[in-house]
Structure 1
Amino acid sequence: MSTQTLKPTEDFDQNCVEPSGCKTVELLIQPRDKDLGGFSVRRVLPTRQRRMVGPWIFFDHMGPADFPAGEGINVRPHPHINLATVTYLFEGEILHRDSLGSYQPIRPGDVNLMVAGKGITHSERERPEVTATAHSLHGLQLWLALPEADEEIDPAFYHYPDADIPRLDLKGVPVRVIMGSAFGATSPVKVFADTLYLEAHLKAGQQIIVPDAEERAVYVAEGEVKANDTLVPEHAMAVLSSAPGIELTATRDSRIAIVGGQNLGKRYMEWNFVSSRRERIEQAKDEWKAQTFPKVTGDEEEYIPLPE
C-alpha cells in the first residue's frame, strides 16, 4: 500500500447535498471510497462546500481493512504544523513515533493526541509482532486546527488509554465522550478551544440527542440514522444546523461519531500543513524540502518528500 495512505496530497471527491427546506441538516457529505492497494480510506473533511466543522479541519475514515502477514500500515515520517492530530481506532493497532521521542502503540479505544504547534515529524507504522500474522485495521483519524494564539506552541504528545475515556449509558445507548464535555461527563483529553467528539452505538430504533455546540456534525461509520427527518446513510456526514434538540434515530444498528465545537475562522491547508497564514505554510514547505524539521526518533532514515 502507499506510504501516504493516511495523508494523501489532494482532496478526495465527495458528493455534497444541501437538503432543501430542511432546518436540521445543512449539508450531507458522502465521500467516495478510495482504494489504496487493498486499503479503503474515505476523506470526509475538507470539502469544497465545507472546509471545517468547529475546529475540525480533516476527517478520515480508514478501513476496515484486512492485511495478510507481512503487510500493513507503513507511513514514513512526514511533518505537521499549527494543528493537532487525533487518532482513534475501532480495531487493530498503529505504532506512533515522533520527533519528540514518543513511541506509542495505539490500540482500540485509546485516544492519541499529537500537537504539532510550531512543527513536528511523525511516522505511522506497525510493530513486527502485529505484521507477523494476518490482522485488521479500522478507525478514524482527525485533525484539529489550533487557535491562532496556540498555532506556534511547542509540539507535544498525549496518549490517553481506553480506560480513561468516559463511558455513559443514555437509556441503553453506550456513549464515549472522547473530547470535550457532553451529557454531564468531561473527557480528560486536552483541548485548545470548545471541542466536541463523541462515539455512540445505537441499535435499530434507539435515539440520542445531539449536544449543543457552535457547529456540529454526525458521521455514520456503520449503519444508518435519521437526523430528525433527514436520512444519513452509512459513510456519510451530516453537517447539522444550530437548531436545539436535534434527535438522531438509528434505522438499523449503527456506530456514529459526533464532532463539533468553536468556529476558529479561516484556515489554509496544503498537504500536511494547516495554518491561519498562507506564508507560514510556504515556510514549512521550504523547511521540509531542506530537511530542517526534527527527525523521528528511531525512524530517521526515511521520509515522504514534499509533493510537487
Structure 2
Amino acid sequence: MLDIVIESRKASIGPNLTVNRILPFRLRRMVGPFIFMDHAGPVRAEVPDAGEYDVLPHPHIGLSTVSYLFGGTVTHRDSLGVEQVIKPGEVNWMTAGSGIAHSERFEDPAVLAGGELEMIQTWVALPEKDEESAPSFHNYTVEQLPVFTDTGVWMRLIAGNAYGLLSSVKTSSPLFYLHVVLSQGARFGLPKEHAERGIYIAKGSIEVNGNTYGEGKLLVFTKGGDPLIIAKEKATLMLLGGEPLGNRYIWWNFVSSRKERIEQAKEDWKQGRIILPPNDNDTFIPLPEDKSRPSGPPPEVLS
C-alpha cells in the first residue's frame, strides 16, 4: 500500500548549486536506513568558472554518504587522503563513522558547459554499534555492480540485495538501492523482502494503483504490498529502502542516535578536531551559526 508521496523541494548546497531535496521530510524522516536524498542536475553553466559549483570541505559523523552519477564527473577528496574521480554508474561509498571531512569538486568545465552533470546522493544512517567506527572510503566500478535486464526493464543493483541479486558493496545494515530504467509500457514490482520501500522518480512518469506520478516525487510503501508499477513513458527510477534503525537526530551534516553526540561534533568541527582533506585544505565550510536543537529537519544540509 502507498503510505506517503513526498514532493522534492529546492535546496541550496553552494553559492551556485541548487538541488532537489527529497529526504529528510517532516512527515517521513527515513526510508529504511536512508535518512537523506538529493538529486542534483542536470547542471548547465554557460560560462563555468573554476570552482563555481564546488562543495568545499565539510564534516560528517554517524552515516555513510553514497554518491551515484547519471552523467558527468565529480572529484572526491577526504580526510583519509583519498582522491577519487567518480564516473557515471560507479558508487562512491564513504563511511564517516566517528568523523570525516570531504569535498566534492566539479573540475571539468566541458561537463558543466554541456549540461552533463547529474548526481544522486544519499546518506545511510549507521547502526548504533557502528556510529563510532573508523572512517573509510570505497569506490566501486560499473563492472562490480550487478545488472539485470528483461523486456522493457534495465536495472543496476547499487547496494544490498533485491530481486535475487546481491551487490558486493559493503553495507552495515539490511538495505537495497537500485537504479532502474523502464521503457514506456513496461510493468515492474517492488522487492518484497524489505520492511520499508521507496521509489524516487528521477525522470519520466509511472502509474501506481491507477494514479500517475511524475519526476521529483518519492513514493513510500508499507511492507508486504505488491504494487504494480507501469511506465507511462520512459522512466528512470531510484529504488531504496531496508530495515529501519530507530530514531536518528540530524543537524547540518551530522547524524546520530544521541543528541549530545551531535553537540560534540559541532565543537569538534569548530576546534579543528575533524581534520581536513590533506590535498584540499585551503578552505572549508564553517559551522553554521544556528541555535536549533538536533531534532527536526536541518536548516541547511550539505552533501
Q: TM-score, normalised by structure 2?
A: 0.90
- Aligned letter for 1:186? L
Cα distance, 1:207 vs structure 2: 1.1
Counterpart for residue 2 of structure 2: 25
Cα distance, 1:277 vs structure 2: 0.3
- Aligned letter for 2:41? G
Contact 2:185 2:230 (C-alpha < 8 Å) held by counterparts: yes
Distance 2:78 2:37 in 1: 21
Which one of 54, 73, 81 corresponds to residue 101 of structure 1? 81
Q: Secondary structure at the match of 1:220?
A: strand
Which one of 16, 40, 49 corresponds to residue 70 of structure 1? 49
1:46-65 correspondence to structure 2 within 5 Å: 46-65=24-43
Which one of 219, 223, 227 corresponds to residue 200 of structure 2? 219
Counterpart for residue 297 of structure 2: none
Which one of 104, 109, 121 corresponds to residue 131 of structure 1? 109
Cα distance, 1:98 vs structure 2: 0.2
Q: Secondary structure at the match of 1:33?
A: strand
Cα distance, 1:302 vs structure 2: 0.8
Counterpart for residue 41 of structure 1: 19
Alignment of 1:162 onto 2:142: yes
* Structure 2 stretches lacking a partner, 5+ long: 290-303
Which one of 232, 238, 242 corresponds to residue 219 of structure 2? 238
Counterpart for residue 276 of structure 1: 257
Counterpart for residue 147 of structure 1: 127
Q: Secondary structure at the match of 1:175?
A: strand
- Aligned letter for 2:32? G
Change beyond 3 A, Cα 1:137–1:154: same
Counterpart for residue 243 of structure 2: 262
Counterpart for residue 113 of structure 1: 93
Cα distance, 1:38 vs structure 2: 5.8
Counterpart for residue 12 of structure 1: none
- Aligned letter for 2:49? G
- Aligned letter for 1:108? P
Residues 213-268 of structure 1, C-alpha deviations (whole Å, 9 max, x = no match): 11010000000112233322211001112133222111111000110001000000
Contact 2:70 2:89 (C-alpha < 8 Å) held by counterparts: yes
Distance 2:226 2:2 in 1: 13
Q: Secondary structure at the match of 1:300?
A: coil
Counterpart for residue 301 of structure 1: 282
Contact 1:34 1:41 (C-alpha < 8 Å) held by counterparts: yes
Distance 1:103 1:38 in 2: 23
Which one of 81, 86, 91 corresponds to residue 61 of structure 2? 81
Residues 114-144 of structure 1, C-alpha deviations (whole Å, 9 max, x = no match): 00000001011123xx126734310100000
Contact 2:206 2:235 (C-alpha < 8 Å) held by counterparts: yes
How many matched pairs?
A: 283
Cα distance, 1:181 vs structure 2: 1.1
Report which stretch shifted further, 247-256 or 82-91. 247-256
Report which stretch shifted further, 281-290 or 235-244. 235-244
- RMSD of equivalent CA atoms: 1.5
Cα distance, 1:73 vs structure 2: 2.9
Distance 2:16 2:131 in 1: 36
Cα distance, 1:66 vs structure 2: 1.1
Q: What fraction of aligned residue pairs are identical, expressed as a percent?
A: 43
Cα distance, 1:40 vs structure 2: 3.7
Counterpart for residue 11 of structure 1: none
Cα distance, 1:37 vs structure 2: 6.0
Contact 1:82 1:151 (C-alpha < 8 Å) held by counterparts: yes
Contact 1:84 1:116 (C-alpha < 8 Å) held by counterparts: yes
Distance 1:78 1:33 in 2: 21
Q: TM-score, normalised by structure 1?
A: 0.88
